[in-house]
Structure 1
Amino acid sequence: MNNQPNPEPAVAFRLDAPTGGANRGVLLSAPAQWNGYLESLAFAPVTVLASLLQSRRITSRQIVEQCLRRIERLAAPLYCVVSQTPFDAALAAADRADAEIMRGQYRGLLHGIPYGAKDSFATRELPTTDGAKRYASRVLGYDAVAVTRLENTGAILLAKLSMGELAMDDVWYGGQTRNPWNPEAGSSGSSAGSASAVAAGLLPFALGGETWGSIVSPCAVCGTTGLRPTPGRLPRTGVSALSWSMDKIGVITRSVADCALVMDALRGADAGDLSSMDAAFDCDLSAPLTDLRIGYDVSGFAALPDEQIALFDDAKARIETMCGAALVPVELPALSPEYDALPMTIIGVEGATSYAAFIADNGLNELVRQGEDNWPQIFRRAQSVTAVQYLQAQQLRARLQAEMTAALAGIDVYLTPSCRGESLRYTNLAGQPEVVTRAGFAADGSPVALSVVGNLWREDAALRVAHAFEQMADLSERVPPGFA
């Protein structure tokens, strides 16, 4: 049985990145209003928790204890937690953070903050299961680079979070991860547990990953904030590979500022991921939007159900007010039918390669889902795809990348209803970064999400627009019933 995360091949998909220039980092404010009740911080963003830690009005131990209690009390019905750092070890890490802060050795806004990681991120002491029963006890003995970088900031890993089997949807060997807003429904996936845990107030933030919708979709469904960056922005070293040319890692949080903060801690090249690189990131979330040209995805807005049209018209109007100019209609490429199978051709072939040892050892028959559109059949079909067909698919992808670049010429970002129209498919193939934030709530009380898509390597512009909308819309106080 293969006991290692699937390795990246020698040739990696790589996008040119901007270099040089000033890098002022992420400028964040950290409001510190607090009523003194610990439970009222269950849904507080990292910036608020960090402010309270800096001012020593609260300790890391208190935050960690609260998260552990909430996990113990609320996680089981959500099927979102796979494994946990032992209670004593978690508290010891919190005590170390508190001692460092008291000595003036403050490492930054993530110091002493607990978090969780999707169960595809290698961890040296906890199992890394990829959502598959075969890997339920697989302890790799080392950390993914993202986990190491967070450890260096003083953040504290509390839990490994559920993911759909081998990174598909929200069903894993332990059950179906549930949506805190509607526990009878799934959370979507495959970063299922990451979105569910953050939405339920179990953890302030979580690491996730996306190949085709696996951050954006669960964030949209669970009402969390998410960032899927440009491929190569964050190193994937130590994260199980599904599709080496399409996999991205990202973050799921409670605010746009938190997305910027965590991404800033994770970014930069690592020798273990040949696609990763050092790219400039200069993000001032307090800057006005008047220097940005903002578009909207015509096809995405046309795909809205009638009951959501007014909500998204209001979102567009608010952003027009902030940028001081009318939004520009953006027509995404109209593609021929040959593109329809493109994502799954690439993902299927690369996934069947990544999990070749698992497949050879009869692992596909052990997976929970065995339908026509699930991994067992997809991987079996992929094994009959020829090298010529695979390379033709990558050629089509390169053509789409050029067409997307042309479609976005002259604008900095565009708005689209999350998971509507073709934007999600196109941007995962072409690489544009996407920020997901709440746009409002449907009549049944479920969250509705707005995505802000930036040009390649322009996470800063997408974050600025999403942050400004988030602050104006002021939707963060609403939490899932039964989890307050």
Structure 2
Amino acid sequence: MHTLPAFLSSRPACNALMLALATALPAWAAAAMPAERIIAMGLPELRAALDSGALTSAELVAAYLQRIESVDRPAGGTRAVLAVNGAALEQARAWDAQQRAQQGAAARNAPLAGIPFLAKDNFDAVGMPNTGGSLALAQSVPTTNAFVVQRLLDQGAILLGKTNLSELAASYGWYGYSAVGGQTLNPFNPLRTADGSSSGSAAAVAAKLAPFALGTDTTGSIRAPASVTGTVGMRATMGLVSRAGIIPMSLTADAVGAITRSVQDQAIVLDAIQGEDKGDASTKGMVRPQQPLATGLATATLAGKRIAVVENFEGGNPEVDAMQRSAVAAMEKAGAQIVRIRLPKVYETLQPAVLGPIGLAEFRPQFEAYLAGLPAGQPRDLREFMVRLEALTDKGRRGINPGRYKGLQENLDTRTTDGPEYIHLLSVVVPTLRRELGELMAAGRYDALFYPTLACTAPVVPGKADPSFVCKTYAYAAGKISPTTGFPEITVNAGTAAGNLPVGVSFLGRAGDDAKVLEIAAAFERLKQ
């Protein structure tokens, strides 16, 4: 864990807590099952071990706390976990006690009961600051949980802690850096980042600091970090998962999801967190899966699937392009019908033409709506927020990503959501793009579109040099299709480039095709094992 500012040192779940945890570590080593074995387990295996009594929740939580202590906190560590939940071990012991009391009662546990998870530090969680990585919110402690956090807790899962992120979920070139959490590093190569903004969540799962972690994705912030850390990240159909209780960026595009180690784990978590929420209008009236998304993945096949390989996003990095070709060949050998297509050029420029202007219009009013609901003593609008931030960063001259600071200054003068350009984008442009892409996929009878999640490998850490980094194009263009249309996209590891750098590939389906996308990804994942 990295050092926090001095004025935070007395807060629960920060420096003092981590010192206490460090002194308690030897007592945790008594687990009957080796910690290395515990942290290697996927979610189905953990469920079986907990239900059989081969493993207790306290042993599981302790193994991960010890892993955080040894891998994340030291100098040169991943710096993925921003704060640990001081009540996690106590909650795990309470769950174990409940299990002992129910022995012989044929109790059936929820899939994630007794299993710890991490949440990106823009999710509200009672008793823990929700900083968004900003010093201005370093003492903001919510009184309620985000909808998906509460949903997991209600099912018996245990919040292990909060993960680092690009500050207020916007990277501005400093991927995975925040003033509160510092710089998150890629577990596979310390010269590279875990991308952004859900960098801490992806790095934590890749480094085995938790079985899974929650993240947010506005224009790529789950899928890009998952891609460069060899994990699985999914942006579900818009409205499947609630965003309530999360610091917003742009609610037209904001999505909540998980980063996991496998497609099966991804489906299990998505089953647990999806649901209608009166606090998020996008979830109302959604056609939801008729059966659990996790069922049937073990027998999913690519045979007969019609996969459209999108050629618009090639040319950024020769190794990434080669990995795409290899993946296509493997899918074809497995029986998939491969079709090569080029999308209309409008899909190459969605960030500057659509998502950027929408985000600029939405950030201030939506961020201020979140601030207005915070407890007493916290900034109530963007101007109050900036006054506090400037006092803590010497007007942006220290501690904060200068690009992020400049962006916030510009947001003070941003256009509002009653502007004609914004209204035209939302009422005409976005629905047209969604309809046209859906029609294109239906006409081609494509089960999914396929492309590299990023056109290049992981970005270099700010202030460091890596001559091996090659990126000849805007790496993130493909990732803008899903947030613009609301269609589901999943990224799965396709292999490793030079420098031990994971490379992910994406499958995108039509709205409501979440189950199909998961099945295709699961079948592809088996090809690469």
TM-score normalised over the length of structure 2: 0.77
CA distance in 2, matches of 1:166, 1:101: 43
Judged with a 3 Å threshold, the aligned counterparts in structure 2 of structure 1 residues 156 and 338 are, in CA distance, closer, same or farther, namely closer
Question: Residue 202 of structure 1 aligns to a residue in which SS?
Answer: coil
CA distance in 2, matches of 1:337, 1:326: 25
Judged with a 3 Å threshold, the aligned counterparts in structure 2 of structure 1 residues 360 and 467 are, in CA distance, closer, same or farther, namely same
* The one of 493, 497, 500 aligned to 1:442: 497
* The one of 216, 224, 247 aligned to 2:223: 216
* Matched AA of 1:407: L
Tell me by how many angstroms 1:256 deviates: 0.4
Tell me by how many angstroms 1:123 deviates: 0.8
* Residue aligning to 1:400: 433
Check if 1:414 corresponds to 2:449.
yes
Deviates more, 1:255-264 or 1:426-435: 426-435
2:361–2:417 Cα contact (<8 Å) kept: yes
* Matched AA of 1:50: R
Question: Residue 346 of structure 2 aligns to a residue in which SS?
Answer: coil
Tell me by how many angstroms 1:465 deviates: 1.1
CA distance in 1, matches of 2:481, 2:324: 21
Q: After superposition, give the CA deviation of every residue in 1:6-25 in whole Å (9 maximum; x if it has no partner).
A: xxxxxxxxxxxxxxxxxxxx
* Residue aligning to 1:327: 338
Q: After superposition, give the CA deviation of every residue in 1:258-286 in whole Å (9 maximum; x if it has no partner).
A: 11011011112111101113423244212
* Residue aligning to 1:428: 483
Check if 1:79 corresponds to 2:79.
yes
Tell me by how many angstroms 1:233 deviates: 0.4
Number of residue pairs matched by the alignment: 438
* Residue aligning to 1:369: 401
* Residue aligning to 1:470: 525
Judged with a 3 Å threshold, the aligned counterparts in structure 2 of structure 1 residues 415 and 69 are, in CA distance, closer, same or farther, namely same
Larger RCO: 1 or 2 (CA < 8 Å, sep 6+):
1
1:431–1:456 Cα contact (<8 Å) kept: yes
Tell me by how many angstroms 1:224 deviates: 1.2
Tell me by how many angstroms 1:451 deviates: 1.0
* Matched AA of 1:280: R
CA distance in 1, matches of 2:417, 2:148: 33
Tell me by how many angstroms 1:111 deviates: 1.4
* Matched AA of 1:259: Q
CA distance in 1, matches of 2:357, 2:506: 26
* Residue aligning to 2:138: 136
Aligned residue runs from structure 1 range 48-87, under 5 A: 48-76=45-73, 77-86=77-86
Judged with a 3 Å threshold, the aligned counterparts in structure 2 of structure 1 residues 96 and 189 are, in CA distance, closer, same or farther, namely farther
- Pairwise CA RMSD of aligned residues? 2.4
CA distance in 2, matches of 1:209, 1:337: 22
Q: After superposition, give the CA deviation of every residue in 1:302-353 in whole Å (9 maximum; x if it has no partner).
A: 335223333222211222233x243122322212998533211111111122
Tell me by how many angstroms 1:96 deviates: 4.0
1:97–1:111 Cα contact (<8 Å) kept: no
Check if 1:317 corresponds to 2:323.
no
Tell me by how many angstroms 1:146 deviates: 0.4
2:311–2:342 Cα contact (<8 Å) kept: yes
Judged with a 3 Å threshold, the aligned counterparts in structure 2 of structure 1 residues 157 and 411 are, in CA distance, closer, same or farther, namely same
2:235–2:488 Cα contact (<8 Å) kept: yes
1:64–1:90 Cα contact (<8 Å) kept: no
Judged with a 3 Å threshold, the aligned counterparts in structure 2 of structure 1 residues 227 and 384 are, in CA distance, closer, same or farther, namely closer
* Residue aligning to 1:31: none
TM-score normalised over the length of structure 1: 0.84
Question: Residue 52 of structure 1 aligns to a residue in which SS?
Answer: helix
Tell me by how many angstroms 1:94 deviates: 4.5
Q: Which segments of 5 or more consecutive residues in structure 2 lack a partner in the other structure?
A: 1-31, 369-379, 456-474
Question: Residue 337 of structure 2 aligns to a residue in which SS?
Answer: coil
Judged with a 3 Å threshold, the aligned counterparts in structure 2 of structure 1 residues 446 and 59 are, in CA distance, closer, same or farther, namely same
